[in-house]
Amino acid sequence: MAGVSAPFGWSLAVPRLLIRRDGDNLRISAPQIRFLNGKSLEQLKNGANVGFLSQISLLASDSVVLARKVDRFVVSYDLWEEKFAATRIGPPVQTAARMSVPATEAWCLDALAPVPPSLAPTRPFWIKLELRAEDPKEPVAIVGEPGINLTRLVEIFSRPPRNQQQHWNEIAGPLRLQDL
pLDDT in tens, 151-169: 555 555 555 555 566 778 8
The verdict on residue 83 lying in a domain is: yes
User: What confidence score (pLDDT) does residue 15 get?
Assistant: 64
Say how many domains are in the chain.
1
The domain containing residue 144 runs over which residues?
A: 18-179
The verdict on residue 32 lying in a domain is: yes
10, burial (CB in 10 Å: exposed 0-12, middle 13-18, buried 19+): exposed
The verdict on residue 57 lying in a domain is: yes
The verdict on residue 6 lying in a domain is: no
Write out pLDDT tens, residues 19-42: 888 887 788 888 888 899 998 999
- Residue 174: asked if its preceding bond is cis (omega within 30°), the reply is yes
The verdict on residue 96 lying in a domain is: yes
The verdict on residue 7 lying in a domain is: no
The verdict on residue 11 lying in a domain is: no
The verdict on residue 10 lying in a domain is: no
Write out pLDDT tens, residues 50-107: 999 888 888 887 678 888 888 888 999 999 999 999 998 877 889 999 999 999 998 9
Query: In whole angstroms, how large is the CA radius of gyration of the chain?
Result: 18
Q: Considering only CA atoms, which of 78, 93, 104, 76 is closest in space to residue 143?
A: 93
